[in-house]
């Protein structure tokens, strides 16, 4: 299976997430180092771990070190999520992480935003349940908090 995705396309079609079969963090890269576009799959919003593995691991890696299988296709490597607290004076930047997921906090270090706007994508899964996107972002933020190095 190859991964093909042009991250600029998520701006045009926010209900499409890219990371070829996001639920499969062991996805192999094609020789072209491109990502395949795939529709977002719904996961259990109560499980940060399941959502992380489904939506984040393809870029950030299963352990959050920024070494997912899609890294070779990205212009800027994803950050090491395990160092967020360490790089923030020992305090987990909960509101910043939530804001990055929601799309309200810019990723200045990335230049242009390659990371999908998960808030928009989670809202596309809500089907009228306005609390679901917030629950997803809160539980995903909490899961990232548990990944921090001591």
Q: What is the mean pLDDT of the chain?
A: 76
Total structural domains within the chain: 1
pLDDT tens for residues 76-89? 889 999 999 999 99
Average pLDDT over residues 92-121: 80
Residue 140 lies in a domain: yes
In this structure, what token pair is assigned to residue 15? 């209900």
In this structure, what token pair is assigned to residue 67? 């070494």
Average pLDDT over residues 58-72: 94
pLDDT tens for residues 9-33? 333 233 333 333 333 333 344 434 6
- pLDDT at residue 64 is higher than 80: yes
For residue 37, what is the enclosing H or E element? strand 37-39
* Cα gap 90→61, rounded to integer Å: 22
Residue 131 lies in a domain: yes
Residue 108 or 83, more confident: 83
Domain that holds residue 60: 9-146
Residue 116 lies in a domain: yes
For 56, which DSSP code? I
Residue 70 lies in a domain: yes
Residue 128 lies in a domain: yes
């Amino acid at each position: 299976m190859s991964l093909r995705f042009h991250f600029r396309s998520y701006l045009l079609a926010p209900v499409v997430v890219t990371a070829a079969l996001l639920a499969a963090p062991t996805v192999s890269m094609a020789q072209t180092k491109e990502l395949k576009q795939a529709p977002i799959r719904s996961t259990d919003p109560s499980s940060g771990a399941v959502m992380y593995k489904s939506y984040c691991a393809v870029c950030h890696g299963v352990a959050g070190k920024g070494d997912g299988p899609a890294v070779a296709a990205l212009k800027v490597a994803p950050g090491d999520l395990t160092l967020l607290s360490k790089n923030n004076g020992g305090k987990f930047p909960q509101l910043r992480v939530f804001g990055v997921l929601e799309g309200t906090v810019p990723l200045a270090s990335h230049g242009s935003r390659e990371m999908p706007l998960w808030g928009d994508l989670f809202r596309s899964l809500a089907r009228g349940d306005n609390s679901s996107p917030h629950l997803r972002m809160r539980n995903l933020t909490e899961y990232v908090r548990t990944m921090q190095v001591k």
